[in-house]
Amino acid sequence: MAYKGDDLLEEVTNKDYEYGFVTDIESDLAPVGLNASIIRLISQKKNEPEWLLEWRLKSFELWQKMTEPEWAHIQYPRPDFQSFHYYAAPKQKKNPKSLDEVDPELLKTFDKLGISLDEQKKLTGVAVDIVVDSVSVATTFKAKLAELGIIFCSFSEAVQEHPQLVQKYLGTVVPRSDNFYAALNSAVFTDGSFCYIPKGVRCPMELSTYFRINEAKTGQFERTLVIADEDSYVSYLEGCTAPMRDENQLHAAVVELIALDGAEIKYSTVQNWYPGDDEGKGGVYNFVTKRGICHNRSTISWTQVETGSAITWKYPSCILKGDHAVGEFFSVALTNKLQQADTGTKMIHIGKNTKSTIISKGISAGKSQNSYRGLVKIGKNAENARNFSQCDSLLMGDRCGAHTFPYIEVENPSAQVEHEATTSKIGEDQIFYCNQRGIDTEKAISLIVNGYAKEVLNKLPMEFAVEAQKLLAISLEGSVG
Amino acid sequence: MLSIKGLKAEIEGKEILSGIDLEVKAGEIHAIMGPNGSGKSTLASVLAGREEYEVTGGSVTYKGKDLLEMAAEDRAREGVFLAFQYPVEIPGVSNINFLKTALNEIRTSKGLEPITAKDFLARVRERSALVELDTKLKNRSVNEGFSGGEKKRNEIFQMAMLEPSLSVLDETDSGLDIDALRIVANGVNQLKNETNATIVVTHYQRLLDYIIPDFVHVLYQGRIVRSGPKELAMELEEKGYDWIKEENGETVDV
């Protein structure tokens, strides 16, 4: 596709975080703090079966024994986990049957986000599920998907309607005890998206979820579960925004992908949580666990464009369990101002002839710190496993940092592992060259950065690639000079 | 079109241009010659608006406007084009996308609509033929992996695409073999018309066999020490720059 830097300019005039509005809707809030009775309350509010409550309580028990991970290259005051609301739901009539029943204020929010549900429905053919604070509020296109046997709904609904699928797969890729944030999420998650693609079905449209934190002092803990049955295909996209707040908001999601034999899952993320102000006040703490398991001949492809959050701690990973499984990770992580990102992937090769590709493009500006952290592990039985990793860093100015932490563990001598890394700076020469051709500095930077990130942006579905380009340009506003 | 009066410029406190006077009218080609370090490239850079150089005196009027007050991109939009001595590589940005962005920025500044894809491609085809630019290079990243000659041809191709009023060619002949030199010169000659002007900065007379200047100026120690018709270039070729140096009071080791 063509990358038109010129389409960006109109969007670029808006210097500040443009999604920083608060929607004035009544919320149903749980009291501040976390204990077993809050978890019971959440479970009860959601009318959950007994096994799920037990699962949550067990997770809570595990979490209490765990400590926050310290190894990431990030610095921040530890959140006080007793100071959050663990449940916040926009108050509205139960289970809206159509858009008419959804709170009009909420619909306005979607408009501001640029996702008019109606328009989305008609024009783009993208099915959208929207999660505000903790609750999924609208899922479009459900009926059309149902004809193909595709289930795309909120997680809560899946618990009610398809409990056997949820119970079979929940926690199988990211166990409750996996890490501190995954355990916390398992105890208190409130909603998220659920998707099941039946055998041999190619999902005809992009499935998309928008996450938004609205209520102050809430933590958002979504749980996403995507199951692609044998020989099926799905492309899934999530977008994220949050209002500007002085306090830090906590976001700790868990995403589990299951690609059964011959299936393919493309999972794309455009993350634009509020990054905090120039002094680093506010912003979202984003501690996310994303992992997929690939059975025989299946493919999982993660594409992420990360421009937001004060702190990003995120490693979308693939467990290549089956033979001939393929794992891919394409990432652009941009940090500006005082943002910190520690992000990368894990490719765990277990099956024979498994293949993985990692393309990571870090962009650091302002006083930010940007780290790539990736593990490539080739197990004993992974005959002829192959990995290719490329980690590039682009620096702007002289007060930011770029760091690369690659870990390679090989237990099978037939493995081929390649790692390439480069670090470059946007040169004044390049900018002047653009200026001399009539292109101003802001646009020159967006042209250069988009050129640098093109390999990854190309992996996004068309309309989101355009959105991602704009985001990169906006996020770099005023970073040079 | 261009009127330079008493222009002085320095870099890091060191004076490079010590009072340049130059008048360029539409339809003219001026050659600026001079030994290494005489300030030729500095003059080109100052005209283009490079910020490392500090203008400490004098004035530059371009189409009736104070050129020195304008940002580099505004000069470009007003029709000032610099063919770089060392064209810069921009990885990941295709030559074609770069040019289209540039062209549309210039058009937008003049209140014109962006060029249609069809017209743009037609122009690309026509103008790339002018400098015999390999079609493959158009889709490659700007100057990345181009040979020295390809980079210089690409500069002239860009010039042909952007149709500037005033082109400054900074040592465009350096590093070119004779065939490439002929192609580049041919491109420049074909772009010449009654409404535009060209300043050719060069160390050697060689390029001027192909691009015939109306005026030749010799730059030495930051000043134009001699101006004349094209024959001056021949004289320089014959006698070398020592003659100029001696005339200006420098002892030359023989």
The per-residue pLDDT for range B52-104, each reduced to its tens digit, is 999 999 999 999 999 999 999 999 999 999 999 999 999 889 999 999 999 99
The whole-angstrom distance between residue B234's C-alpha and the CA centroid of its chain comes to 21
List all residues 6 or more positions away from A270 whose beta carbon is below 8 Å from its beta carbon: A237, A238, A239, A240, A304, A305, A307, A460, A464, A467, A468, A471
Query: Mean pLDDT over all residues of chain B?
Result: 91
| Residue-level pLDDT at A70 | 87
* A438 CB neighbour count, 10 Å cutoff: 28
Report the C-alpha gap between B120 and B100 in whole angstroms.
Answer: 8
Which residues, given as ranges, of chain A have pLDDT below 50?
Answer: 1-15, 92-97, 116, 119-125, 481
List of residues 6+ apart from B136 with CB closer than 8 A:
none
**Interchain contact A431–B (C-beta under 8 A):** no
Question: In B, residues 184-223, which contact A (CB 8 Å cutoff)?
Answer: none
State the CB neighbour count (10 A cutoff) for residue B196: 20
3-state helix, strand, coil in chain A (%, to 5): 25, 35, 40
B8 near A CB under 8 A: no
CA nearest to B52 within chain A: A428
B252 touching A, CB under 8 A?
no
Q: Is A432 on the interface with B (CB under 8 A)?
A: yes
- B93/A6 touch (CB, cutoff 8 Å), yes or no: no
Strands B90-94 and A340-349: unpaired
Identify the weakest region by mean pLDDT among A142-146, B16-20, B232-236.
A142-146
CA distance B253 to B239: 15
Question: B124: distance to nearest CA of chain A, Å?
Answer: 16
Which positions in chain B touch A440 (Cβ < 8 Å)? 71, 73, 105
The mean per-residue pLDDT over the stretch B30-52 comes to 93
The answer to whether A337 and A275 have CB atoms below 8 angstroms apart is yes
Distance CA A147, CA A154 (A): 18
Q: Where are the beta strands (DSSP E) in A142-203?
A: 151-154, 193-197
Distance from C-alpha of A220 to C-alpha of A15, rounded to nearest angstrom: 27
Classified as helix, coil or strand, A183 is helix
Q: Is the pLDDT of residue B107 over 80?
A: yes
Look at residue B33 in the predicted model and tell me its pLDDT: 93
CA neighbor of B20 nearest in space, from B36, B52, B44, B48? B44
What does pTM read for this prediction?
0.80
Give me the pLDDT at residue A481, please: 46
A13 lies within 8 A of chain B by CB: no
Reference B18, options B63, B44, B60, B55; nearest CA is B55
For residue A74, the model assigns a pLDDT of: 86
Count how many residues are written for chain A. Answer: 481
The residues with which A187 forms a beta bridge, in sequence order, are none
Question: For residue B22, what are the CA distances in angstroms to B54, B57, B215?
Answer: 19, 15, 11
In contact, A180 and A66? CB cutoff 8 Å: yes
Contacting residues of A for B87, CB less than 8 Å apart: 433
β-sheet bridge partners, residue A239: A210, A270
What does the block give as tokens for A65? Answer: 């024994």
**Confidence label for B124 from pLDDT (cuts 50, 70 and 90):** very high
Are residues B162 and A437, on separate chains, in Cβ contact within 8 Å?
yes
- Chain A positions in Cβ-Cβ contact with residue B97 (cut-off 8 Å): 2-5, 447
> Nearest-CA neighbor of B157 among B178, B142, B145?
B142
- Dihedral of alpha carbons A213, A215, A216, A220, sign: negative
User: Cα(A264)–Cα(A233) distance, rounded to whole angstroms?
Assistant: 5
